[in-house]
Structure 1
Amino acid sequence: MEHRVNLGKAAPALYQSMISFDRQVNEHVAASGMAEGFSHLLRLRASQLNGCAFCVRLHTRDSLAAGESMDRISVLPAWRDTRYFNEKERASLALCESVTSISEGQVPDSVYQHASSLLSIEEISAVEWLAVLINAWNRVAISSRYPVGGGS
């Protein structure tokens, strides 16, 4: 694998700004009432879609540490075909996926309307800011080629 510039080391002040943004989003998510474990599942799902191995590993571990079950983590790529997620979580997952895949048709009105029928303004805002945040982190990790190896 070729050497890539580590964005965090090349521009530490910008990286610190990302960390600050992360803290602010986490506070916003917590204030919305979203369970911490589920917030990690949203991060994990976006990271899966983006192919960010570093963040997939990180948020799998964080999900487990926050009390999410291995079953919910395992079926996350096929969440639509399971009964592991309630209606609010399903709407949140669909919205997060749409924000993550925004170049493929924006956020469809049907996804947003369904989310707004189940989620409060605060919950929608939390899901969308969380998606914006994790997509930014995925781009930092992927473009910097953060190493992901066995045993750690």
Structure 2
Amino acid sequence: MERTRRYRYVGPAELRDQAIAADAVAVDTPTVLARWLAARRRGELAEPVTFVVALDGGLRLAPRRTEHVALAGGRDVLAAGEMMFAPTASGWGVVEVTNQSTGYCPDPDSWPAVGSALDRIGVEHPGDFTDKVIFRCCPACGERNVVRDKDFTCALCESALPTWWNFTST
């Protein structure tokens, strides 16, 4: 059986300590998803929502500007990022999904947790992240980095970044 990585919050402590997830939902059925999306303002549906996959494999959603750590209640997660939904013939489906979370810095290999959570509730999805973000922690200065164009150089101190995911996990 494949071991699933747990991601710890690696962002600023002040965000972790003051974070509250207003208007969040645990999605366990397509009906819960449809009701939550129906309650969004028109402008909100034009942008992605924040998501986490909790340690129990459940999908949690909140409006985009919600901190991932607030949505997770400060706990470790199996995945985190943003999702964009669109109507389908059978309800709602995910049309875009990314692992973009600077609070958890999940690796793209967190996709199976996302796919499983969506499959469990019967939501159509693209089968993988539509945009994969590569995060690395600089061993020299400790800065969180987004790797762009395969340039594994720290944006702050210009030290070399490792090619493997190197944040703390359990």
Q: Give the helix-richer structure, 1 or 2.
A: 1
Q: TM-score, normalised by structure 2?
A: 0.26
Q: TM-score, normalised by structure 1?
A: 0.28
